[in-house]
Structure 1
Amino acid sequence: MWQRVERKLLERGVNTYLELGLWISLVYIVIGVGYTIFHVELMGQLQQALTGAFPIFSDIAALVVMVLGWPILWASSFLCGVAGCGLF
């Protein structure tokens, strides 16, 4: 079985799977930026919550959390009715 898997990987090439991973991460980041654009007030609340941990770079930390954590924030809005409830 492992020989078949190895043969399939070598047929396609590792660069094909690397390219696929990069395309998936690009789509993930674009969706995160779109989510952040439409939820600016949530980013302000998150920035205030992160000020204690990151006093100088709280705005950058809030942006990174919003872009990378959009699925959690989106799911929490369905569970609680408010995005980010109970997270900060």
Structure 2
Amino acid sequence: MTVWRRVLSRRVSVEAMIELAMWLAIPYLLIGLVWAFFDAEQVRAIETALQTRLPAGADIAAFVQTTLLWPLLLLGTDICMA
């Protein structure tokens, strides 16, 4: 417990926190891009659901949505497009 207190008591600048978030976003986005590339059926399903609401950019929106929500898709749950 004292180790956690020592780690959490250190002062950290806002710039360091932003940099950490950006470094952590790189692997998250890379995994998401690979997941969206190999899970084309899910991208197509989301694209058909978005086609009525966003006809011009449904394909890109579906790819971005699959890329950002890959942890939910990893669990095997389908995204409800009601």
TM-score, scaled to structure 2 = 0.76
Task: Return the offset for 1:33.
Answer: 0.3
CA distance in 1, matches of 2:71, 2:80: 13
Q: Which residue of 1 aligns with 2:50?
A: 50
| 1:24 pairs with 2:29 | no
Q: Percent identity over the alignment? A: 28
Q: Which residue of 1 aligns with 2:80?
A: 87
Instruction: Give the match's secondary structure for 1:52.
Output: coil
Q: Which residue of 1 aligns with 2:60?
A: 60
Instruction: Give the match's secondary structure for 1:19.
Output: helix
Choose between structure 1 and 2 for higher RCO, CA contacts under 8 A separated by at least 6 residues. 2
Unaligned ranges ≥5, structure 2: 1-7
CA distance in 2, matches of 1:45, 1:52: 13
CA distance in 2, matches of 1:13, 1:55: 43
Aligned length: 74
CA distance in 1, matches of 2:37, 2:61: 15
Unaligned ranges ≥5, structure 1: 78-82
